Amino acid sequence: MNLIIDVGNSYVKLAVYKKTELIDKVIVLLADVVGVVRTLTKKYKGVNRAIISSVGRLAEKDVEAISKCIDLTILNSETNLPFKNLYKTPKTLGVDRIALVCGSIRQFSDKNVLIIDAGTCVTYDFINSDNEYLGGAISPGIRIRYKALNNLTANLPLLESEMPNGIIGRSTDESIHSGVMYGILNEIDGVIELYKQKYSDLTVILTGGDAKFLSKQLKSSIFANPNFLLEGLNFILQFNSSE
């Protein structure tokens, strides 16, 4: 059994997999990670290896504490991966994006795949049918857009995410909601359309914290999977353990 640890910008997701089956999943604060790892390894006696993906600030002492509990793989640019990385700066490619690409290979091998991760940022990652990773894009996520309007202007309020009833905002709040929501929806649909113009057989995957919300609003046909990054990390661990 595998323990997956995904350290994000805001929270940490931990998941237990039995081969490819998700057994358990918890979301915790950064400060609670070590304690939760200890709890999960005691609860699931068959868990004997783990992988950690960290885009947040997990302290070195916490990584050392986790490695004492379980055989730990730390995902980085040197990790053996099941795809050819053609990114010009491979060492700067985020481990979260690496995991997403691996998830696409596990589920959609030998296909042209665009992976869209809608979280703090919206990342776009493309891997072709030859299992070559070409790159993608990074854009502000929903919350960043709301916060930017508040932080970088004198009078605009900070609002909670909300889908407006229509495109025309009839108040300042409605105008902000319209600008943020229709802006990000049209961006995502537009990016998908640009890729489809070049790759007519494109498979599109939407994941991340805002995936469920956005999938209901997008015009494009997509596969929505909130656990896609976790599945990718599990696949990387299996890929390296089988050698």
User: Taking a C-beta distance cutoff of 8 angstroms, is the pair 52, 73 a contact?
Assistant: yes
Question: Does residue 122 have a known ligand-binding role?
Answer: no
Indicate the average pLDDT of the chain. 92
> Which one of the listed residues 24, 32, 71, 96 is annotated catalytic?
96
96 a catalytic residue: yes
Burial 202-229 (b: 16+ CB within 10 A, else e): bbbbbbbbbbeebbeebebebbbbbbbb
pLDDT score, position 243: 46
Question: Does residue 13 have a known ligand-binding role?
Answer: yes
pLDDT score, position 203: 95
Residues of the chain with pLDDT under 50: 243
Distance CA 131, CA 127 (A): 6
> What structural domains does the chain harbor?
2-74 (3.30.420.40), 84-232 (3.30.420.40)
Question: Does residue 130 have a known ligand-binding role?
Answer: no
